[in-house]
Structure 1
Amino acid sequence: MRRIHIGAFGSGLGHATRMLSVARLLEARGDSVKFSSSGDAVTLIRKEGYACSSLPLVDVSWEDDGRFSALDTARSFPRNAGRFTKQIREEARNIASFGADSVLSDSMMATVIAARLAKTRVVTVLNQLRLESSRRTPQVAASMISAGTVSIGAALWNLSDAILFPDLPEPYTISERNLWPSESVKSRYVGFLTPPKDHTRNPLAERLKAEKKLKVYWQVSGPSKTRAPLLSAAFRIADSLKEKFLSVVSGGDPSGEVEPRKTPFGWFYEWCPGKDSILEMADLVVSRAGHTSIAQFVLSEKPSLLVPIPQQTEQEGNAEKAERLGIAVRVEQDDLSPQTFSEASGRLLGGRVGQRLSEVSAVARRLDAKSEIVKALT
């Protein structure tokens, strides 16, 4: 039996949920798994029955309206530097106390450094290798953020024994704006990595299947400050269009209530259990443009309206590429309204999106990211 320590980046839940898939496969092979993460991700991982150490969060800063704040991110550098140092110390203790044979990092640089200091094999999974400035980011702050991140980031990530991109190979790569072309033998594409399949049947999904209205699933997710504006838009638009659409809104709070509340437009969950059956029931989904979310929509062949977090370059790039592939429609947060929603839904349900989803999904299904990651750990 091997012992595998997994460090998952804790801003939002995407990194944690996809690492749960790997953890399940490792356990099925007889390995022992422990996690470390931050924030809401710790709550989620522990809910799934895994031991998880809580680390201080090192992240960018957000405005109250959910936008990425370049200035505040630059100003918080001293604080984040201190937290990063603490992350390394705590991860070193976690790896040593667990007696880890191998370490898996999902976008956690401190985990990579701690593993290297412990002379333990470390594999990194990530889909954002470089941080670019948004066209709408103030240039001085953008320069402070971007300067040196490519060279410094590359040097630190390359401490890993292997770097695996949980994405499709070109020309289907969703994160192409955020990944530099690499010829390193350490790095390769392994296909989409998504959360474990939730086989729990949501009773509401069964009830709503017979509804004649078009069914929309609003999957709100991300850091807490970024959830509020999309949740507000969901309520406003769903209520305005309730004669045509039946909406199920999930607030994306892992600490929230799991019982749905009836609303004039449909139903609201603070946290949606059995969400795979809700996704399956829906005619289309509205979501942020996180990589894990897009991967799920492709594999489910579900048309999606993507609303990237404003000025968050990873999500902007993901949404742009998904729209270019013809598998989604992108609408900026400031432009999201009943009119733009109606226009986007018409494009999603009346065009070639379904055909393109089938084509890209077929490519994705030929790859097995979980198995590739597990093999890389040995």
Structure 2
Amino acid sequence: MKKRILVAPLNWGLGHATRCIPIINALIAENFAPIIASDGAALTLLRKEFPNLTTIELPSYNITYTKNRKLFKLKLLKDSPKFLKAIKAEKKAIASILEHTDISGIISDNRLGVRNKKVPSVFMTHQLNVLSGNTTWLSTKIHQKIIKKFDTCWVPDIEGEINLSGKLGHLKKFDVPTSYIGPLSRFTNTRSEIKNDLIVLISGPEPQRTFLEEKLLSELKSYSGKVVFVKGIMEKKQTIQVIGNITIYNFMTSKLLEKTINESALVVSRSGYTTVMDLAKLNKKAFFIPTPGQFEQEYLAKRLTEMSLVPSCKQNVFNIKRLDEVKTYEGLKAFDFKFDYTNLFSLF
């Protein structure tokens, strides 16, 4: 019997789910039997990627954004009882799963209640520091307290000074066994012929996902190049719409998305950490528009701009002429990094 490992990404945008794809593939390669547990769009995406694997629906956090970025932190505070209720429901669900299914280990990607003392439980995150403005010290302390309840922490980055996550994933001292497992990406750089001038990738909680979609579609009316526009809306069937020089998809599976990004000269997207890892793997030039109010994305965008790698700007000031800035930036590059999954999975 293969050992069953529960892999549970948070449903907050699609980044947590997509960066679990290489982990799931590695588990399969190492002769484990992954079981996928999540909810919403994240679960839908992974079911499409792994139709033959067992999947379980977990309680939802129901995370949404505010229209005004200044109110986002206040909303999170207001929603905290809802989060605590979801975490409690997660713990109960995991206890029930372990009671009825032989599970040898748990990998939680930022799902705070997905752990159990009966089996080795891993917490995967790139945020050892949780940025929240003037309350960063508090949000970080709370997050680290939760991570300490797990057996070990996996950080999808490298440990040295040259890294992708910056101060998010690197601390001078942390009292939890921590492994830096290298940047995770489901993609491979195929050095394809460029067929598209621009690919737009959108995902993340509403209503900000829709706001960015509407703004970019409006701005692209004056863009003459060939555009592929991926909305990041996970639905049962893929839809394709062509409007002039723009081809619009509701979503793409990994293989098609990999092919299309490889064939595109420039990427416009949010600055989520999974996107940063993917575009580094593909050696892509990009323009980042961080989600308003999401301190982590704002930090990553600013850091990469200051490093002369990727230009960025706030959502409300973006216009199509800003894309000209890309010419003076280097673009993202992959690290030459190979990780020993056999050793990593020995925990189970």
- TM above 0.5, yes or no, is yes
Q: 1:173 aligns with which of 153, 157, 163?
A: 163
Asked if 1 retains the 8 angstrom alpha-carbon contact of 2:271 and 2:297, the reply is yes
Which deviations, in whole Å up to 9, do the C-alpha atoms of 1:212-258 show, x marking residues without a partner?
xx60000111124221112112211221122xx22111111121652
What is the aligned partner in structure 2 of residue 265 from structure 1?
245
Mapped contact 2:311–2:329 kept (Cα < 8 A): no
In structure 2, the residue matched to 1:202 is: none
Report the equivalent of 1:193.
184
Tell me which moved more, 285-294 or 70-79: 70-79
- 5+ long unaligned stretches in structure 1: 135-141, 200-204
Structure 2: unaligned runs, 5 residues or longer: none
Alignment of 1:116-195 (within 5 A): 116=117, 119-134=118-133, 143=135, 146=136, 148-179=138-169, 180-184=171-175, 186-195=177-186
Q: Which amino acid aligns with 1:365?
A: D
Say whether residues 1:254 and 2:231 are aligned partners: no
> What is the deviation of 1:159?
2.4
State how many pairs are aligned: 341
C-alpha distance 164-298 of structure 1, shift in aligned 2 (>3 A)? same
**Aligned residue for 1:87?**
90
- Residues of 2 paired with 1:352 and 1:61: CA distance? 33
For residue 111 of structure 2, what is the aligned residue in structure 1? 108
Matched AA of 1:78: P
In structure 2, distance between residues paired with 1:168 and 1:265:
40
CA contact (8 A) 1:61 1:69 kept: no
**SS state at 2:56 partner:** strand
Contact 2:189 2:281 in 1 (8 A): no
Equivalent of 1:353 in 327, 330, 336: 330
In the aligned structure 1, how far is the partner of 2:138 from the partner of 2:343?
Answer: 29
Measure the CA separation in 2 of the matches of 1:294 and 1:269.
Answer: 21
TM-score by length of 1: 0.82
**1:299: Cα distance to partner?**
1.0
1:58 matched to 2:29: no
> Once the two structures are aligned, what percentage of the paired residues are identical?
21
Structure 1 residue 79, shift from structure 2 partner: 2.0
Relative to structure 2, which stretch is displaced further, 280-289 or 41-50? 41-50
Cα root mean square deviation, aligned: 2.6
Secondary structure of residue in 1 paired with 2:292 = coil
- Give the conservation status (yes or no) of the 8 Å contact 1:220–1:231: yes
Output the amino acid matched with 1:151: K
Contact 2:184 2:277 in 1 (8 A): yes
Change (3 A) 1:33 1:7: same
SS at match of 1:258: coil
For residue 308 of structure 1, report the CA deviation from its aligned partner: 0.6
| 1: CA distance, partners of 2:220 / 2:344 | 42
1:283, distance to aligned residue in structure 2 (A): 0.7
- Which residue, out of 219, 223, 226, partners 1:241? 223
Q: 1:36–1:249: structure 2 CA closer, same or farther, 3 Å change rule?
A: same
Q: Is the contact between residue 22 and residue 374 of structure 1 (CA under 8 Å) also seen in structure 2?
A: no
The farther-off stretch of 217-226 and 176-185 is 176-185
AA partner of residue 375 (structure 1)? F
Q: CA deviation at 1:81?
A: 1.6
Structure-2 residue corresponding to 1:339: 321
Secondary structure at the aligned position of 2:35 is classed as strand
Instruction: Name the residue aligned to 1:44.
Output: 45
Question: Aligned partners of 2:176, 2:342: CA distance in 1, in Å?
Answer: 15
Q: Distance in 1 between matches of 2:221 and 2:59?
A: 39
The reply on whether 1:367 has 2:343 as its aligned counterpart is no
SS at structure 2 position matched to 1:41: helix
TM-score (norm 2): 0.88
Tell me if the contact between 2:30 and 2:342 (Cα under 8 Å) persists in the aligned partners.
no
Instruction: Give the corresponding residue for 2:306.
Output: 324
Q: Which whole-Å CA distance do the structure 1 matches of 2:175 and 2:57 have between them?
A: 33
